[in-house]
Structure 1
Amino acid sequence: MAALSDQADRAMRDGARFLTRDAPDHEIPDDPMPPVEAMRLIEEELILDGIPERNLATFVTTWMPPEAQQIIAGNLHRNFIDHAEYPQTAEIEQRCIRMLAKLFNAPGETTGARTQGSSEAIMLGALSLKWNWRKRREAAGKSVDRPNLVFGGDVHVVWEKFCRYFDVEPRIVPLHPEKYTIGPADVEPHVDENTIGVAAVLGTTFTGHADDIRGINDLLVTLKHDKGLDVPLHVDAASGGFVWPFLYPDSEWDFRLGQVRSINVSGHKFGLVYPGIGWLIFRERADLAEDLVFYENYLGKTDATFTLNFSTGSAMVLAQYFNLIRFGRAGYRHVMQIMQENTRLLAARLAETGQFIEVGADEEKLPLVAFRLAEPRSFDEFDIAWQVSAERGWMLPAYTMPPKADHVKMLRALVKLNLSHALVNTLAQDIAAACETLERKGGAHESERAKIRTNVGY
């Protein structure tokens, strides 16, 4: 018995050494650490992070059911790119692509790719725009040294990254106060023969609304007919691609519009999968520039690859397929309607306080509430974001809008599936309570304001 007791004492000491030592920081430790100690050290570190379920900033899925978690855990070791050894996994990817193409009303045979998220999908889609533009220009004997890409100030930063990384002139349409999306009149002055494409957003990260995609498409059709400028349209549906088909099925933004040649969507947002999984879908095979496809055979058979990454896990592809077959169209519609109902509840509760203005309440949008103070106060939106975090742990993003609306301050609350009716009511009460506290004390101290998380998420 004494020997067993000694072993238990040693095990307890070995599992608790991290409590009296600094976490390894600048270099790999010389000696190994018991697995339980390493696990507990990491768990203690993560206590300092926010609680994902209270993160109102992120569009990313923070909960999946146990069955999905089991699929994910059981396939983390499966390298997706190795199609020779895992052909059924590759087939499941193609099933997802076909299903999404059908959801987006592709007219016939199409193609696409899974990606780490919409950022990679956008890079690949925009590269294909550039390659196809260059091919058309070279065939016509024209210069290819001045490509440009047109998009609004409401896009995610990845569009500007693409232009900088791949030597394309960004032609950014500025926003204006009370006008936070773009339409055909905004786009037309920027399009010329060197335009590789126009990017439009379905569900912006700033307010959740959509650009006038149909209007932009009609403009591009007119330019094609009148001036011979065949400018393709890419739809950044990172957030909206799993929302609009179920909440606004009659709204035409997808391949029903002739100039829409490619669409990206994030499975890890309203596709309801953990990060990271994204999808790029082309209208037809010809829209994928063949020069961007590589063929290799060192994994056992000849495979075509069209990604910026190579080795990656299969788990999230399988999790996406799980969701598609588990929910079906009716299930996704039901989930989106629940989110929409709770979004309207939050908007109503905030309106009852008399302190806020909701942006674009009656327009088609993502399940979120973008709002700002109705009138100047002794505190601002950034103060509110800090106060609700300090008092109740909510991660509510405060941010300024893009130029030329950058003096407009905004708050935004994502209303995802895990934000129930009861939690919505609690959130609204907490925001109102934060305003009361700030009214008494006159805003947050500058040192506290500096801690506010101002990123708008993606």
Structure 2
Amino acid sequence: MNEKGLEREEIISVLNKSKSEDLKYNRVLSSMCTYPHEIAIHAHMQFMESNMGDFGLFRGTYDLEVSVLRSLGELLHHPEVSGYMTTGGTESNIQAIRSMRNIFQRKDKCHKPNLVVPDSAHFSFDKVSDILDIELRKATLDKDLKVSIDSVRSLIDDNTIGMVAIAGSTEFGQVDQIDILSDIALENNIFLHVDAAFGGYVLPFLEEQHDFDFKLPGVTSIAIDPHKMGLSTIPAGVLLFRDPGQLESLRADTPYLTVSTQYTLTGTRSGAAVAATYAVMNFLGKEGYRKIVADCMEATYYLLDRLAEIGIYPLIEPVMNVVALDIPKADLIRSTLAKDFNWQVSITQNPHGLRLVIMPHVTIEMIDSFVQDLRTVLETI
């Protein structure tokens, strides 16, 4: 920090230069985030100073959060849901499993708890294991890249506190057989957390219906991210609990604030993200989200048709707007696309392939340009 501050114009110049060096979304086919909706940006700016860590000072913003939770609870078939807005899927996943662990420990269990997750689970669950000192047991996937039910059953024992199911896996966009996992959770009296950080704003608006939410009685918590397909601003996640006791297990006393307790992982929380989420959800409504999802799926199928013209096919038929391609030398192709054409794509690990996410910023023109560049790369490697 300088002794004397810089002129405003100099700061703006530095900011503009830094912004210009960021990659624009029109070359990004790997991200599960996109440009936020205009009304979300407006709301975010209006509520920049609101701190939900001490929401007694910001009761209006708190009321917006309550409204967001109620709306998502209704969407996910449990209007009486408990929870709060987080920074995103990672925090939501940590807190969901922390709640499981806290309740497990109160039952006087003396052995180290374990958690059963799919091999396709987000890397945040590895963080969960490290932070909470929970053994992570990874179940294998079946031929459709869903978690193997037999593998899950084989990993459950007396110290299993819960399971994780994925509704829109990060790599493949696949949805586990959550109806069966719900039954297993009830049979074993354990928790079932659904990571729907991406799929939560997609699955309810698809023509084909998928059972993944609180409609299933064994589902005890859900993570869903408004800053992905919800088109809110970053950071905006939501953690939802079926039972208020799960949220209560996260309670911490806060005697010096205007509110006496917190249930959150972070202290300071963004009221701006709360307002942005409220604004965009109420502006778009279900009808608006159905159109956004339909447009993304139309672009996804168009991409598949164009890729078929050059002999490239998906590892699985896409469930949502995530495409994993069965393509050799995926690492080399990815790096060449980035170096020679500035395209940002990603790879899947097991099975190995190229991964594309068809977000609302992805246009037909982008797809045509990408396929042409991919064809060129394939012809030269």
The residue type equivalent to 1:109 in the other structure is E
Which structure 2 residues correspond to residues 237-276 of structure 1 after superposition, within 5 A?
A: 237-247=196-206, 250-276=209-235
Structure 1 pair 397/250, CA: closer, same or farther in 2 (3 Å)? closer
1:409 correspondence with 2:366: no
Residue aligning to 2:313? 357
1:181 correspondence with 2:130: no
CA shift for structure 1 position 329 = 0.7
Contact 2:42 2:276 in 1 (8 A): no
Aligned pairs, how many? 381
Contact 2:55 2:259 in 1 (8 A): no
CA shift for structure 1 position 396 = 1.2
Residue aligning to 1:294? 252
1:335 correspondence with 2:292: yes
Residue aligning to 2:281? 324
Residue aligning to 1:52? 25
1:154 correspondence with 2:120: yes
Which shows bigger deviation, 308-317 or 233-242?
308-317
Contact 2:235 2:273 in 1 (8 A): yes
CA shift for structure 1 position 297 = 4.4
Residue aligning to 2:35? 62
* Counterpart Cα distance in 2 of 1:91 and 1:423: 40
* Counterpart Cα distance in 2 of 1:271 and 1:384: 31
Q: Of the two structures, which has the highest relative contact order with CA contacts closer than 8 Å and spacing of 6 or more?
A: 2
* Counterpart Cα distance in 2 of 1:210 and 1:400: 17
1:370 partner SS = strand
CA RMSD of aligned residues (A): 1.8
Which structure 2 residues correspond to residues 35-114 of structure 1 after superposition, within 5 A?
A: 35-65=8-38, 67-106=39-78, 109-114=80-85
CA shift for structure 1 position 303 = 4.0
Give 5+ residue unaligned stretches, structure 1. Answer: 1-27, 402-407, 444-458
Give 5+ residue unaligned stretches, structure 2. Answer: none
Superposed CA deviations along residues 233-281 of structure 1, whole A, max 9, x for unmatched, are 1100010111111115632111111110000111111111121110011
Superposed CA deviations along residues 218-245 of structure 1, whole A, max 9, x for unmatched, are 2333xx2xxxx30121100010111111
1:83 partner SS = helix
Contact 1:61 1:273 in 2 (8 A): no
1:384 correspondence with 2:333: yes
TM-score by length of structure 1 reads 0.79
Structure 1 pair 171/102, CA: closer, same or farther in 2 (3 Å)? same
1:118 correspondence with 2:61: no
Moved over 4 A (4+): none
* Counterpart Cα distance in 1 of 2:72 and 2:208: 14
* Counterpart Cα distance in 2 of 1:335 and 1:45: 31
Superposed CA deviations along residues 135-176 of structure 1, whole A, max 9, x for unmatched, are 2x32xxxx3332000001101111111111111111111347
Contact 1:80 1:90 in 2 (8 A): yes
Which shows bigger deviation, 425-434 or 340-349?
425-434
Contact 1:183 1:215 in 2 (8 A): no
CA shift for structure 1 position 179 = 4.6
CA shift for structure 1 position 42 = 3.0
The residue type equivalent to 2:137 in the other structure is R
Which structure 2 residues correspond to residues 136-215 of structure 1 after superposition, within 5 A?
A: 137-138=107-108, 143-175=109-141, 178-215=143-180
CA shift for structure 1 position 392 = 2.8
1:346 correspondence with 2:312: no
CA shift for structure 1 position 337 = 0.5
Q: Which of structures 1 and 2 has the bigger CA Rg? A: 1
1:427 partner SS = helix
1:429 correspondence with 2:372: yes
Contact 2:233 2:277 in 1 (8 A): no
The residue type equivalent to 2:256 in the other structure is Y
CA shift for structure 1 position 302 = 2.9
1:417 partner SS = coil
Superposed CA deviations along residues 169-198 of structure 1, whole A, max 9, x for unmatched, are 11111347x452203212000011111100
TM-score by length of structure 2 reads 0.94
Which shows bigger deviation, 200-209 or 385-394?
385-394
1:283 correspondence with 2:242: yes
Which structure 2 residues correspond to residues 301-312 of structure 1 after superposition, within 5 A?
A: 301-312=258-269
* Counterpart Cα distance in 2 of 1:332 and 1:78: 27
Superposed CA deviations along residues 370-410 of structure 1, whole A, max 9, x for unmatched, are 1022xx5xxx2222222222333211113422xxxxxx421
The residue type equivalent to 2:371 in the other structure is A
Superposed CA deviations along residues 9-53 of structure 1, whole A, max 9, x for unmatched, are xxxxxxxxxxxxxxxxxxx33442112112212322343332233
The residue type equivalent to 1:371 in the other structure is L
* Counterpart Cα distance in 2 of 1:217 and 1:183: 14
Contact 1:184 1:219 in 2 (8 A): no
Which structure 2 residues correspond to residues 227-238 of structure 1 after superposition, within 5 A?
A: 229-238=188-197
* Counterpart Cα distance in 2 of 1:92 and 1:45: 34
Contact 1:183 1:216 in 2 (8 A): no
Residue aligning to 1:14? none
* Counterpart Cα distance in 1 of 2:122 and 2:68: 25
* Counterpart Cα distance in 1 of 2:262 and 2:362: 39
